[in-house]
Chains A and B, each alone.
Chain A
Amino acid sequence: MDAGSCNGCEIEIASIFSPTYDAERFGIRLEASPRHCDGLLVTGPVTRNMAAPLRKTFDAVPQPRVVVAVGDCARDCGVFRGAYGVEGAVSDVVPVDLEIPGCPPDPAAIVRALRGLAGT
């Protein structure tokens, strides 16, 4: 879920499903609805407008679930720290289980982290 990112992280996330990285072979799939998910990938600093939708989306994921904060912004607001529209980092809004550093993180790092979660 994009909580206010610059879309850099999304591009890297999208590329982990490209032929080069092909995360699907590890059983990692991108889902359209939180109802079908085991985990929630959040990118970007949480803006004020996106805080409530983030909470609702988190609520909508069935338990047990994991929250992964992708990118520096998600971890600690990154370059947007202190900006007027920013509510805080992801962990200020919902509990975070795993953080992936980088601005943006390397696709290989994302795949590695997710594989670690899934144990594949």
Chain B
Amino acid sequence: MTAALLVATALMGLAGTAAGAIAPVRFRIALSSALTIAACALGFVVGAEVLHSGHAAVVHTTTLMPLASFSLALDRFGALFVVITAVVGICAMIFRFGYDGQGLASRTASSILPLFVTSLLLVPAASNVTTFLFLWELMAITSLLLVLTDHARRSEVQVAGQWYAVMTQLGAAALILGLVLLATRSGSQSFAVIAVRSAHLPAWVRSTAFVLAVVGFGSKAGAVPLHVWLPRAHPEAPGPVSALMSAAMVNLGVYGIVRVGMGLLSGGPAWWWLLVMGLGALSAMFGSLHSATSKDLKRLLAYSTTDNVGLMLLGVGASGLFADTGHRALALLALVAALLHVVFHAVFKGSLFLSASSVHQAAGSTDLDQLGGLLRRMPVSGPIFLVGGLAIAALPPFCGFVSEWLLLQSMLHGLPSGDVAIAVAMPIGVGVLALTGGLTAFTFTKAIGIGLLGLPRTQDAERAGEVGRPMWIGAGLLAVLCLVFGVAPFLVIPSVVDAAGAVPGLHLAGALTRGWNVALPGVPGMLAPGLVAIGLVGFGGLVALGRHLVQQRPVRLTEAWGCGRELQTARMEYTATSFGEPLTRVFEDVLSPARDVDVSHLAESRYYTEAAVIHTTIDDAFERRVYRPADRMLVRWGAVARRVPNGSVHRYLAFGLVALIVVLVVLA
């Protein structure tokens, strides 16, 4: 049954592609979106059924691709990711009904988008190397085309596309090498067979394959230092696409690392997992620092994706480390925390990206310094962004709180284990989690305080109004989930535990939920999100009651204090740049901000200034110190290499002769 539904999912997605390509303009968006929603719904059913029953959905055919079989086998672990993608996909497609991205309405984009969603849905089901790489590349290329949607209108899109193309293909190359190495060495390309035989492979093969997989999947997940494409591509992609990329696609990077490291290779030495934790810690700190100092809403969200991927990798690394040292219960706990963060990140980042696109459509900009006063002007989308922001800042009663709490607990409980690697890694992990938690709260205070509150800073922001109903329904569904999962995490935790339990070698000493509460089996500690929520509501009620009782006199309303200035305008408001300035200064070595002051003088006298303009930019340190020099070096080598073939036929003949001699010598 599930197998048939899985096939139906793929077919429905292809039907969406066909509809996008041939349907008349009038029905194009409606038809392709509706079919994509149907594909996601089918995917959701398959995923939920597999999660529930534990029976894998298997599809196997030898006729679809030449020389290799096409085979899908969706187990519980993959099903979790299918379900996440399906939920985000449905919301993004609903959102698309109201989205007026001109580019996204084109024939190309309308036919590519369903294909992208379908590939996202199918990647976690792939069960042999060829199928996996085929679907993975399909996902990479369709997402690249979607990032390029608006390339004709804005030149930044082209640059973003180039970065994305290079990084994703480098990652894919690493993946191909790693997976092919595993397949040839174990004599089969089926994941199930590799998983059995990999234990007998030499250590260097296993380690090489794992490191290559971490590089390949890490670049897709946006882990530092392979993240450089992410803060460029995610903001430039049209709204629904950026939501899908940030909330569904990066997850697959985490999926891949777990699938290869824990599934195919069944765990490995401590240094693998320390590597993963290191990448995670670096991503979390770097991402949260950059998102705290970004002033563009979508760029800020993109960096925060890097930050959250870092937290997921921290959990995955901790889990591998625990498993390696024999702490099975803790290993599962850490993996559950990481996967739970994947789920919740998808939910809140989806709603944040979608509502940021609503802001873009309503106010014409995502530059925080051009926004302001939107909470009142967008009475639905504003609160949706607010909910997403509270959830990502890990404040109860929203969902981010639960997963970060679990992650923290799993790392803290590893401390008494007595293992040196754990004793060193876990406190660092806890520190990183604390630092990024603070920075995330800072970031979203900025995004909400500067972007949504205050006075509008431009006329466009002044005229902004609420967006169309499909848009806020799409984003709102996810925001509602933020609250529901935050209050009642027991709705998802059992499924996540089942999914994590599908990873070989992990099992749980008891249930992770007890009634409404989250309990930690084998270790002391419990969380009652329901009670926290009730407490918060009760506390809010008490405050309101207290105010009501105390406030006998009428409230006196006065102007906001502005140093007694006569004229208060939006230009005197705090800006996102100045809000992040202290942090930029403290972390000057990492962020290396550049400042440009342009002063123009009056024509009559150079002693008087006509206008002064200050530009501040913050560069990505990895881009500046690693990628740009590498790029320059390649260009230089290219220039040298160009001198070798100079167009002379004699020289080419000589090359041919020399090559022939070399080949003969080598063969002889």
Contacts and interface: CB of A to CB of B under 8 A. Distances in A.
Do A and B form a real pair?
A: yes
A35 B558 CA distance: 11
A33 B565 contact: no
Interface residues of B, number: 8
**Of A33, A53, A54, most B-chain CB atoms within 10 Å:** A53
Contacts of B558: 59-60
A57 B564 contact: yes
B564 A56 contact: yes
Contacts of B556: 63
B561 interface: yes
Contacts of A35: 561
A52 B562 CA distance: 13
A60 B564 CA distance: 9
Nearest to B561: A60
A53 B561 contact: no
A52 B563 CA distance: 11
B556 to A, nearest CB: 7
A52 B559 contact: no
Contacts of B561: 33-35, 60
Contacts of B565: 53, 56
Interface string B552-589: 00001011010111100000000000000000000000
A59 B566 contact: no
Main secondary structure of the interface of A (DSSP, over half): helix
Nearest to A62: B556
Nearest to A35: B561
Nearest to A54: B564
A57 B256 CA distance: 61
Residue from B558, B563, B564 whose CB has the most chain A CB atoms within 10 Å? B564
A52 B564 CA distance: 8
Interface string B530-565: 000000000000000000000000001011010111
A33 B564 CA distance: 11
Contacts of A63: 556
Interface string A2-45: 00000000000000000000000000000001110000000000
Interface in A73-119: none
A56 B566 CA distance: 9
A52 B565 CA distance: 8
Nearest to B563: A53
A70 to B, nearest CB: 18
Contacts of A52: 564, 566
Interface string B389-401: 0000000000000
A63 B563 CA distance: 18
A46 to B, nearest CB: 13
A110 to B, nearest CB: 23
Contacts of B559: 56, 59-60
Interface of A: 33-35, 52-54, 56-57, 59-60, 63
21 contacts: A33-B561, A34-B561, A35-B561, A52-B564, A52-B566, A53-B563, A53-B564, A53-B565, A53-B566, A54-B564, A56-B559, A56-B564, A56-B565, A57-B564, A59-B558, A59-B559, A60-B558, A60-B559, A60-B561, A60-B564, A63-B556
| The 5 residue pairs across chains A and B that have the minimum distance between CB atoms | A53-B564, A56-B564, A59-B558, A60-B561, A57-B564
